[in-house]
Amino acid sequence: MNAAKRYEIFRRLHEDNPEPKTELAYSSAFELLIAVILSAQSTDVGVNKATAKLYPVANTPAAIYALGVEGLSHYIKTIGLFNSKAKNVIETCRLLVERHGGEVPQTREELEALPGVGRKTANVVLNTAFRQLTMAVDTHIFRVSNRTGIAPGKNVVEVEMKLMKFVPKEFLLDSHHWLILHGRYVCLARKPRCGSCRIEDLCEYKQKTSDD
């Protein structure tokens, strides 16, 4: 795919959704961090239901740490893998209090040192909470990048690096959100909705479908 096609793809995505947002509910960098940790192998809808109960009770590192693993589990038990996630969140909260003054760090290295935080989670927090130019590649973005030809790669890191290189700079900050929403609602895994896709004429996918 050439640069002109890529530019037009992101121009249209921007035109349709000038201020894209994550579908995770949050009101602080810390709330976002915890929501993203909880979202692994879970839906944003499911996470939002859990945090809607948790955050009114505890929404700071100290407050969640005070709940303990068992107390936190009570609020997140509807989420997959809640036991291991509860342990990671409690330990993360402890480290935030002891090492970071209760604040979410703003570097990849410090974020990835927290339990339950990998490269993708760190990228989401850096981009969404702190408006840094990072690219979190999840299953949706990996699929869209490969299927359309925007940034094909064999693994998520390769796709991430290509997106960072190829996405036009003026669109880079919000491109994570556009791509994930496109994959979630249009470029579906089993039957992409090519007939109603805004970038269908620019996409290089050879097995395009109708919406019938």
Other Cβ atoms less than 10 A from the Cβ of 163: the count is: 22
Say whether both 99 and 124 belong to one domain: yes
Say whether both 113 and 94 belong to one domain: yes
Distance (Å, whole) CA 174 – CA 20: 7
The 10s digit of each residue's pLDDT in 147-157 is 999 999 999 99
Say whether both 115 and 146 belong to one domain: no
Say whether both 155 and 189 belong to one domain: yes
Domain count, the chain: 2
The 10s digit of each residue's pLDDT in 24-69 is 999 999 999 999 999 988 999 999 999 999 999 999 999 999 999 9
Say whether both 153 and 187 belong to one domain: yes
Residue 187 assigned as binding residue: yes
Distance (Å, whole) CA 44 – CA 51: 10
Residue 93 assigned as binding residue: no
- Considering only CA atoms, which of 88, 56, 61 is closest in space to residue 75? 56
CATH of the domain at 76: 1.10.340.30
Active-site residue set? 120, 138
The 10s digit of each residue's pLDDT in 60-84 is 999 999 999 999 999 999 998 899 9
Residue 14, in any domain of the structure = yes
